[in-house]
Chain A
Amino acid sequence: MTTSTNSSGEHASEHHSHAGTYTVIWVILLIATALTVITARADLGGWALVVALCIAFTKALLVLLYFMHLNESGGAIRIVAGVTFLFIGLMITMQLTDYATRFPPSNPEGSHMGAMPPPPPADQQGFELPNPMVGTTP
């Protein structure tokens, strides 16, 4: 599981401190928080969500890799962490797929997704297939 297999069972972390790395990550996280505030107040329109989520995922990745040591942990732990986020992603995208493709009235009332689409213009309404049974009787 761990790469350390020497007889003393010592990890590399015992010999050198991570304090420097932690400080750098902490400063980056604070700058990223400031960036979140600045970009969110800058009125980016449709890009606001994308930008905010990109910053949030970058911050989360830094916390996971450096504060939570995923960058040096064993394979089993990495699989657990990776699969967790995979399943969260599946959970959210599958739910959205469901709600985005529903028959409109089955969505909650008052939602823009709940309204039926407007009827087609009058000249395109009432189009009927010719009845094959009319006037064809021998």
Chain B
Amino acid sequence: MQSETARLPGQPVLAHHFSTLDAQKSAASLGMWLFLATELLLFAGFFCCYTVYRFLFPETWEVAAGTLDWTLGAANTVVLITSSFTAALAVDFAKQGKNKVVAGLLGFTIACAAIFLVIKAFEWGHKIEVGTLPGIHFSNTDPALQLPAMPLFFTVYFGATGLHVVHVIIGATALGFMFVRALKKDFGPKHYVGLENVVLLWHVVDLVWIFLFPLLYFI
């Protein structure tokens, strides 16, 4: 959403290669969706690993899921769903030009992202402590966990949640830039597509977690 010429806050600039603002907005949205498609396919790789190894080692997967603390997973689900809700509201208020409300909602969303990361850090910290780690780093000696491919479960667990955490950090950083723009009263009825696209990314972060939570923690 960079503009070469000076513009008033809340007013979009029509790039010279678009005929109308509507066409410009449609192109920006479609471009974002294409990017999100690649993001979802990236995560699908981990879901594929999960599915195949769960199919090959069902008992291991069942025992391993039992070692995860589902209360932390559930708490993170609530945090992410709530942050998705406030992010969606932020776009709604941006369309109405209420930049103060947008800034408040985005601040809350970023705070939710931070809470998510803190909970995740506790979760990972505990796993490092008890040695349920990927591959050769698996050092847990509990006899119940000495099953074939047990370290593989934690490879999938740390891989999928790690990639997800990277996206939480990137998404929260992008929301931070939008927060600054809201403080500068930059959003208006015709100028919100940047925020809308960042929020779309944030919804994808939520979307991935909706599947990771039951698959990793419960079944």
Contacts and interface: CB of A to CB of B under 8 A. Distances in A.
Query: Do A and B bind?
Result: yes
B215 A52 contact: yes
A114 B211 CA distance: 28
B214 A26 contact: no
Contact of A48 (B29, B36, B218): B218
Contacts of B59: 112
Counting contact residues on chain A (CB < 8 A from B), the size range is 35 or more
A36 B214 contact: yes
A73 interface: yes
Interface string A82-116: 01110110011001100110000001111111100
Contacts of B215: 52, 56
Contacts of B189: 10, 14
A2 B52 contact: no
Given A9-B190, A13-B95, A49-B219, A87 B52 contact: no
Contacts of A26: 81-82, 85
Contact of B218 (A40, A80, A109): A40
A63 B210 contact: yes
Interface in B165-219: 189-190, 200, 203, 206-207, 210-211, 213-215, 217-219
B47 A80 contact: no
A110 B57 contact: yes
Contact of A80 (B33, B74, B206): B33
A1 B26 contact: yes
Contact of A19 (B29, B30, B74, B92): B92
A67 B47 contact: no
A66 B148 CA distance: 43
A9 B22 contact: yes
A83 B37 contact: yes
B210 A56 contact: yes
Interface of A: 1-2, 4-5, 9-11, 13-14, 17-19, 22-23, 25-26, 29-30, 33, 36-37, 40-41, 48-49, 52-53, 55-56, 59-60, 63-64, 66-68, 73-74, 76-77, 80-81, 83-85, 87-88, 91-92, 95-96, 99-100, 107-114
Interface of B: 20-23, 25-26, 29-30, 33-34, 36-37, 40-41, 44, 47-48, 51-52, 55-59, 70, 74, 77-78, 81-82, 84-85, 87-89, 92, 95-96, 148-149, 189-190, 200, 203, 206-207, 210-211, 213-215, 217-219
Please give me the 3 A-B residue pairs with the lowest Cβ-Cβ distance, nearest first: A110-B148, A40-B218, A26-B85
